[in-house]
Amino acid sequence: MSISLNQRSQVSSIFMLVVSSITAFCFSSSAQADTEFTPKVKAAMAEMKLQAGKLGAPKIDGDSLFLGTTKMNGYFELVDALKSKFGGTATIFIKKGNGYIRITTNVMKDGNRAVGTQLDPSGPAIAAIRQGNAYYGIVDILGKLYDTGYEPIKTAKGEIVGIYYVGQLME
pLDDT of amino acid 10 = 45
pLDDT of amino acid 124 = 92
How far is residue 131's CA from residue 46's CA, in Å, rounded to a whole number?
Answer: 21
Please report, for residues 68, 148, 152, 169, the alpha-carbon distance to residue 145 in angstroms, rounded to integers and kept in the order given.
33, 9, 21, 6
pLDDT of amino acid 23 = 34
How far is residue 72's CA from residue 139's CA, in Å, rounded to a whole number?
Answer: 24
Q: Are 60 and 130 in contact (CB under 8 A)?
A: no
pLDDT of amino acid 79 = 98
What is the residue-level pLDDT of the chain in tens, covering all 171 positions? 565 544 444 444 443 333 333 333 333 444 567 888 999 999 999 999 999 999 999 999 999 999 999 999 999 999 999 999 999 999 999 999 999 999 999 998 899 999 999 999 999 999 999 999 999 999 988 788 999 999 999 999 999 999 999 999 997
pLDDT of amino acid 141 = 83
Say how many C-beta atoms besides its own lie within 10 A of residue 116's C-beta.
Answer: 12
How far is residue 156's CA from residue 46's CA, in Å, rounded to a whole number?
Answer: 19
pLDDT of amino acid 17 = 37
Query: Could you tell me where the DSSP H helices lie in the chain?
Result: 5-27, 38-55, 77-86, 124-130
Say how many C-beta atoms besides its own lie within 10 A of residue 94's C-beta.
Answer: 21
Phi, psi for 29 (deg, rounded to 5):
-70, -15
Residue 122 DSSP class: T
- Give the Cα-Cα-Cα angle 62, 63, 65 (nearest 5 degrees): 95
Phi, psi for 102 (deg, rounded to 5):
-70, 125
- SS3 of residue 61 by DSSP: strand
pLDDT of amino acid 20 = 37
pLDDT of amino acid 72 = 98
- What architecture is domain 33-169? 2-Layer Sandwich (3.30)
